[in-house]
Amino acid sequence: MKKLLSRTWELFSSNVFAVVLIGILAAVSLLGTAIPQKESPEVYLKLFGEVFYRLFSALSLTNLYASPFFYTILALLGLSLFACSYNRLMKLIQKGKSDLYHWGSFMSHLSVLMIYIGVVYGAAAGFSGYAQIEKGKDFSPHDWPFSVHLNDFNAKFDAQGRPLHFSSDLSVMENGREVLRKTISVNDPLVYKGIKFYQSSYGLTGLLEIRGPGGKAERSPISKNACCVYYTPTGQKFHLVEIFPDLHVLHGMSMEVYEPTMPLVLLENIGWLATGQVLRSGEYTLKLLGATEYTGLQVKKDPGVWVVYLGFLLLTAGVGMMLYVKH
């Protein structure tokens, strides 16, 4: 038993084993980048076909960063970093080395372990997600004691229609009153109780009325992020290509601000549909009831970020000590 424990410790404290684990982690991360994560089945079926979709699902490749395999690699790497750092510290103490170079080398190795701990702790105790809020409405997850209200959204474009700047006017509401208000933009988030709200995207969301045979009408919410709109009683599918804020796009004109004045949608194999217009498709009639702006927010909480920062400071100090002695 002692021999087994000794060999196991020797394996985990090997630099080669740590490098191999880092290589596997890098390869897995590249795979997670190549295969979209946490998408709907329709997305994978369209990109890879049914055979590969079933294979990817069986191997947890569509939710790779939450798979047991990924967590196992992280755990093994953490144990390896700890073993390497511990052995290096014991050697320094036993040999009585007090020169800055060797201690700087130890600090550099220890910093990698600290960064690892910070990342893992942040992933376990924090979260990262996406919120889409329509203008004039709130975003309020059930377990939060506050909500975020979108007062207004603004965007400006150049002569070619490319976005120059877009921002969201947000209010934090708690116990029925506004406790914080800020206009956020890219790289300038709103921060409240350790939770950061980053400006991520924007667009329009609308309401499409679909009237089928017999006169029965269904109202379906639509947005740029929606792949399709289904008329549920018969399974009839209407593919939404895009929503536009007004008629400028039809005349090659750019928009100065992103404000829906006369919204219209483009439906695949059907055509353009403006607000209030009725369009027939087979036995169905379609009518766009209107559209409003929404903002897309990246919502993030990372309590381990300070451990990561401390690790980088330790790494800088360790490398600095090594370079100072060397030169």
Residue-wise pLDDT for 179-216, tens only, equals 999 999 888 999 998 899 999 888 888 888 888 877 78
DSSP 17-52: HHHHHHHHHHHHHHHHHHSPSS--HHHHHHHHHHHH
The count of domains in the chain is 4
Side-chain-side CA neighbours of 91 within 13 Å: the count stands at 11
Q: Are the beta carbons of 131 and 201 closer than 8 angstroms?
A: no
Global pTM exceeds 0.75: no
**Same-domain status, 220 and 264:** yes
Check pLDDT > 70 for residue 252.
Answer: no
Most confident of the following: 29-33, 165-169, 228-232, 244-248: 165-169
Asked if pLDDT for residue 150 goes beyond 90, the answer is: yes
Check whether 327 has a pLDDT greater than 60.
Answer: no
Is 282 a domain residue? yes
On whether both 77 and 119 belong to a single domain, the answer is: no
The residue written with tokens 């329709």 in the block is 42
209 and 179 both lie in a single domain: no
| Cα torsion 108, 111, 115, 116: sign | positive
Residue 214 contacts by C-beta under 8 Å, 6 or more apart in sequence? none
Say whether both 36 and 115 belong to one domain: no
Taking CA atoms, 62 is separated from 29, 51, 66, in Å, by 12, 14, 10
76 and 33 inside one domain: yes
Domain of 315, in residue numbers: 97-126+304-327
User: What distance in Å separates the CA atoms of residue 73 and residue 22, rounded to the nearest whole number?
Assistant: 9
For a pLDDT cut of 70, what percent of the chain falls above it? 88
Does the pLDDT at position 31 exceed 60?
yes
Mean pLDDT across 107-131: 84
Residue 216 in any domain: the answer is: yes
Answer yes or no: do 74 and 107 share one domain: no
- 142 has pLDDT over 80: no
Tens digits of per-residue pLDDT, 34-89? Answer: 888 777 676 787 788 888 888 888 888 888 877 888 888 888 888 888 888 888 88
Q: Do 145 and 226 reside in the same domain of the chain? A: no
In-domain check, residue 91 = no
For residue 257, pLDDT beyond 60: no
